[in-house]
Structure 1
Amino acid sequence: MDMSARSSIEPVKGAGDAADHEPVDRPLLRPLPWVTILLSITLLLAIVVSLLTGPMSFSTGEIITSAKLLFSGAETAGTADWVIRELRLPRVVLACVVGAGLAVAGCVTQGVFRNPLADPGLIGVSSGAAFAAVAVIVLSGSLLQGWSGLTGPYALPLAAFVGGLAVTMVIYRLGTRNGETQVALLLLAGIAINVLAGAATGILTYVADDQQLRDLTFWSMGSLANGGWREISACAVFVLAPLAYCLSRFRILNALLLGEQVAGHLGFPVQREKRALLAAAALMVGAGVAVAGMIGFIGLVVPHLLRLIVGPDHRWLIGLSALSGALLLLIADTLARTVIAPADLPVGLLMAIIGGPVFLFLLVQQSRRWV
């Protein structure tokens, strides 16, 4: 066993009998490097298929020509090149960035709270981010004019991050007793926050004008249709940096599998690490909500299924969650713009149709383990 792999699991093995209190699922797939390679190849193929798919049909040669022009820095040449570079490619990149961010945020949230059904949407983080984003959309011309002027193109993702982070900290405080996270309190607090944030968002929607109301309606359903290079640059900054940070913190997440006290005995500053990881998750969720609206279940389903397939080691789980989340949202968005073409089905609705039954299945499976 190489030293990096040993260092990622030795704290977990050295924790004594604490592991006996947690059920351990035997991973279905090994070795994990091959799983990573397979997912990467599948994602690349999905990107090519997504670029080829749409109301206008393109050949593989046109895709290659457009890629050459893009990397050479040349201006768009012809209708096909413009559609690929200015419409489809930004949408594909945005789907990958948002999907990866949401999946990793869910993976980290489940690891921090030691609950495979924890999700940024279920505990209110997405609702808090959505409320802040709606406030910027509706009030940017009046009460929040100074905020929009100060932050420029980053006004929406920054506001969503602030809203998501505020909710995360409130949930964390309410759900923690004597240094231990109480899952029941966490979920109940999440339900309350979801209700309050939903009511506040409803009030802002009520006072919005016709154009704002139309924008909010489509935004709340979740869509990547309005994603351009400007939105991608803003989103990528707030997703890729915290994602890289989470990748570097796999050891503390592995230690938390055995409980906060065990992780503390192993030398980890547990509370500080948990706050930093939750802030990173809130940043990724806020960025995704700001540019794509409410897209649920990616942060719940992807890491949960991966834990069953490849095991609980976050050294692999975080990266595989990023690849799988990007792949899932890209496939969903490709279907969303082709099922009822030339119209666009909101990808958030499609994910709800897919994710709802999957979540119920996971809930039933989890309840059987609790019996």
Structure 2
Amino acid sequence: MTSARTAIDPELGAALAGMPLVTELRPESLARLRQLASTSLEPHLEGRAVTRREVTIPTSDGTRIPMSILAPAGTTRRTAAPCVYWIHGGGMIMGDRFSQIDIPLEWLDAFGAVIISADYRLAPEATGSTLVDDCYRGLLWAADNADDLGIDPGRIVVAGTSAGGGLAAGVTLMARDLGTPATAAQMLICPMLDHRNDTTSSRQFSGDPGVWTRQMNEFGWRSVLGDLADGEVPGHVSPALAEDVSGLPTTYIDAGTAEVFRDEDVAYATRIWAAGGQAELHVWAGGFHGFDALFPQVRVSAAARGTRRDWLARVLSPSPGGTLTVPATTVSATAVSATQKIG
């Protein structure tokens, strides 16, 4: 473990001071952590004109997973809407489809984007490629039902944060390798990309309490991979292992300088460039893992979220002559449809 460590932004440090932190995770504490990580969608819909549809879809083994489809209500559309397929974080061991949902809801407000957020089975109950395959099945369903959902199949962005960012990278690799569905872009927010956990930044943030430490990262990956040897880990599961990163859609990657995932995220962007691909990389000075989700009011957080929004504005622009979906006037009512079983 290196003694040198990148400092946390002072504003973020002050905000973090009152937050309880841990060093490592244990199996016996997982149920309690999942309870704490469970979130509710309703508070995020207050003041927004949003229609909500709940569906369940079958995965490759027949298990059904729930998905939430959130669309602007009362919009004026001349073209089908852009779509953000959102994959939540939680170290692959906790969280649900409403985790960090405030992030993509900003894009619903700004661009009239339809947000589709899927649950996926969590480790250690689910292992290996199950998690990324669940996420891929959700994306495939969304693309196959684009007309019914009112979305433009040419403007689907796969996005996720932390573990969800890693799964988003894996899903995008799968879509490329399987030839379907087409994705316009991938947005990887502080993504969890490399199970080897051996970078300089990983060693820097080891041993002391934090939002996500090297020890916590080891627990998350061990929960997913079990006893798999390095040579047996698929690149779709640990995207840093993917031998070929060419042919990927335009990519956005960001991270903080004061987090475990910093170096593996920089390395992934570098590999995309080396393969002739397009990636935009931002490494936010003093940012710890998940800083902008935890403390969006801090200046560096606002800068990070605003920069993502600006990038999406470019990516989601319709073809010449088209018109973006116009967001509705904000109202407090929310339309909620019954849960549907699809397939």
Is TM-score (shorter-chain normalized) higher than 0.5? no
Tell me which protein shows more helix as a share of its residues.
1
Select the structure with the greater relative contact order (CA < 8 A; seq sep ≥ 6).
1
Q: Which has the larger radius of gyration?
A: 1
Tell me which protein shows more strand as a share of its residues.
2
Query: Per the shorter chain, which TM-score range?
Result: under 0.3
Q: State the TM-score, normalizing by the size of structure 1.
A: 0.26
Q: State the TM-score, normalizing by the size of structure 2.
A: 0.27
